Amino acid sequence: MAEDFKQTEENIQVDLFGNEVTKKFELRDKYIEPPFSVFDTKQGSWQRRRNKWKALGIESELGRKVDGAHFAGRHRQAERSGKKPAESTQRILDVGEHSIFDPVVCELAYLWFSGKENARILDPFAGGSVRGIVAATLGHDYTGIELRPEQVESNKLQADKIFKEKDKKPEWITGDSNKILEKMQTMVLRDSYGTSSEEYDFIFSCPPYGNLEIYSDMQDDISNMEYPQFLKIYESIIAKSCKILKQGELACFVVGEFRDKKGYYYGFVPDTINAFKKCGMKLYNEIILLNAVGSASVRANTAMKNRKVVKIHQNVLVFKKI
C-alpha cells in the first residue's frame, strides 16, 4: 500500500537514439508539493492527492457525537439573535469536507519533518483516524491518545478495514493525554548516552480550538473548558509530550485563531508558540494552510457588518527541540 504514495527521484530518460536525457527536475517530484510557506488546498494537484488518500476508505468523521448540523445550527441561531456567530475554520460549517483532517497535510508533515523512515510518531490530540492511517500507510509507528472511547473504537475499525492483518497498524490509546503522558514519561529509561528507544521521533497533532468545537461532555475534555483552564491543561500536555521527544527532533501542531464572546481573538497561535518555548522548543517553520472558501463567501457580509474578515486559513507550526 505504501508504494502507491512513494515519491521517486528518478529523473533520467532515454531518447530515440538510446542517449540518456536528464528530465527537468521539479520540486513536486521530490517533495509532493513545493516546500514553501503556504499550503494551498485549492490547487488541483492538492485535491487529486487528497482524493487518492480518501479512496483508501478514510472516514475520520465517524466516531463523533456531534456533526456539522450541530455547528451550523449554532451559527444560524447566533445570527438570528444578533449575536456574534462562531468564527470558525472551514472544518465546522463544511463538516463533510473540512472537519476531516487533511491527509495531504499529514503526508507532507511526515515526509518533510519526521526525519526518518519508520519514525515513532506521537499524537497527543488524536481525534479521528486520518493522522494514524496516513502514518501507518507510509511505514511509520503511530501512537495517538484520544479521550473518547467511541472515537478510538471507530478509528480501530477503520484501520482493520484498510490494512491487512500482517500490515503495520496505527495504535490509539484511550484516555486523558495529561495523565497518560505522565505514565509514558516513566517508561523512558535512558542509556549512558542519554538516549532511549522509548522516545519519539516526531510529534504531530491538531488540538481542539478551545471550545469552538465541543467534542464531548466528559470532565477531562478540554474542549469543555473556559480558555484559562483550557490553556493550563494544554500547556501541560505539550510539556509532557516534548519530554519524550528525542533531542534535535521536531514537533508540528496545526492550529488556528478563534474569537471570544466579545469577538476578540484569544491569541491561540502565540499561546501555542509560548507553550512550546516553555519546554525548550523553538519555532522552526511556519506554514499557512489555506482552506477552500466554502461557506466563507456566505458569511462574509454578516462578518463585515462588524468589520471582521472571515478566516479561511490555519497555521502549521513546527518546533525544534534544542
Q: Looking at this protein, which amino acid is placed at residue 188?
A: V
Q: With pLDDT > 90 as the criterion, what percentage of the chain qualifies?
A: 64
What does the pLDDT look like over 13-46, one tens digit per residue? 666 677 776 666 689 989 999 999 999 999 999 9
Domain spans, the chain:
38-321
What does the pLDDT look like over 121-164, one tens digit per residue? 999 999 999 999 999 999 999 999 999 999 999 999 999 999 99
Please give the residue that has the higher pLDDT: either 221 or 70: 221
Please give the residue that has the higher pLDDT: either 292 or 318: 318
Beta-bridged to residue 295, according to DSSP, are: none
**Residue-level pLDDT at 285:** 98
Residue identified by cell 478540554 is: 222
Burial 98-110 (b: 16+ CB within 10 A, else e): bbbbbbbbbbbbb
Instruction: Tell me the C-alpha distance between 76 and 146, whole Å.
Output: 30
Report the chain's mean pLDDT, rounded to a whole number. Answer: 84
Instruction: Tell me the C-alpha distance between 10 and 29, whole Å.
Output: 9
**Domain made up of 38-321: CATH architecture:** 3-Layer(aba) Sandwich (3.40)
Q: Which of the 8 DSSP states describes residue 265?
A: B
Cβ–Cβ < 8 Å for 150, 161: no
**Residue-level pLDDT at 90:** 39
What does the pLDDT look like over 222-252, one tens digit per residue? 777 889 999 999 999 999 999 999 999 999 9
- Cβ neighbours, 10 Å, residue 113: 21
- Cβ neighbours, 10 Å, residue 28: 11
Confidence band of 198 (pLDDT split at 50, 70, 90):
confident
Query: Is the predicted pLDDT of residue 265 greater than 50, yes or no?
Result: yes
Please give the residue that has the higher pLDDT: either 82 or 282: 282
Instruction: Tell me the C-alpha distance between 205 and 125, whole Å.
Output: 6
The pTM assigned to this predicted structure is 0.83
